[in-house]
Every structure is written in structure tokens, then in C-alpha cells.
Amino acid sequence: EGLFFGNEFKPQELANTGWALATLHSKRGEGTSTETVEDDGIVRILRWVAKDIMQRVDSYKPQEISNSVWAFSTVGFGYDESCGTNVHNDYVHVATNDPVGDKELVYETLEVIAENALSRLHNFKAQELNNLAW
């Protein structure tokens, strides 16, 4: 999806970027004047994180996987109405121009993570497991 500076990021740097963007996004109010531009930027970066995880999941440490999954869920990346509602948070979900494609991308990424994490589950701390379940 175009050029992205993240192709030279280490897994920790990508995970931290996704986490930071999700944290900032989840704290803003709805209807901000730059919402569309911000959402587009966040979606592009989260797509990159998801694709990178699928390509080199073995390079990601448990905390990096955990932070990335938390970022996806916190901003509703890959969410659509068929997923139901989450009554446990009132975060502002990121808008996307490809909800079906993003949902498929998140599901594929989660499958890769689940397959990889199972053999390394003993390396995950309690908070990291909590974030995966989130």
C-alpha cells in the first residue's frame, strides 16, 4: 500500500508505534476535525503491522505481539457490525475504507499469532496473555 517508512522498523518499533497510535486514538473525542486523515494514517500503519507480523512472527517477542493485538482491538481495527459490540469499552473505533479486507487481514494475523504463540505460551507474562484475550 504505497511506500512506508516502517519497512526498516524492528518488531519492537512497529509494535510500539501501533500501540502509541491506538492509545492516542482511543483517548480522543468523536467528531474531531482531522478524524478522516488520522484514521487513514492509523489504518495504514496497523495494516503494515499486521502484514509484518504475518511475515516474521518468529521475530516478535511476546510483549510485541501482545501490544500489537491490543492496538488492533482497542481501535476496532478489522471490526464490523458482524463482530457484535464490546460493552466493556467506549473507545472511538478507527474508520476504514476497506472493512472487509481489514477484517480478513486481522483474522489471518490472529491465526498466525495463535499458531506461533501456542508453542511459546510459557514465555508470555500474565499481562501479555490478558492483552491477547482482550
- Tens digit of pLDDT for each residue in 68-79? 999 998 888 887
Ramachandran bin of 61, using left for φ above 0, alpha for ψ from -120 to 50, beta for the remaining angles:
beta
Dihedral sign from CA coordinates of 78, 115, 62, 14: negative
- What pLDDT sits at residue 86? 57
What average pLDDT score do residues 55-80 get?
Answer: 90
**Backbone angles phi and psi of 129, in degrees to 5:** -65, -40
- With contact defined as beta carbons under 8 Å apart, do 62 and 113 qualify? no
Q: Look at residues 79, 84, 72 and name the one whose alpha carbon lies nearest to residue 103.
A: 79
Q: What is the pTM of this model?
A: 0.82
Maximum mean pLDDT: which of 63-67, 86-90, 91-95: 63-67
Percent of the chain at pLDDT > 70 equals 76
Confidence of residue 114 (pLDDT cuts 50, 70, 90): very high
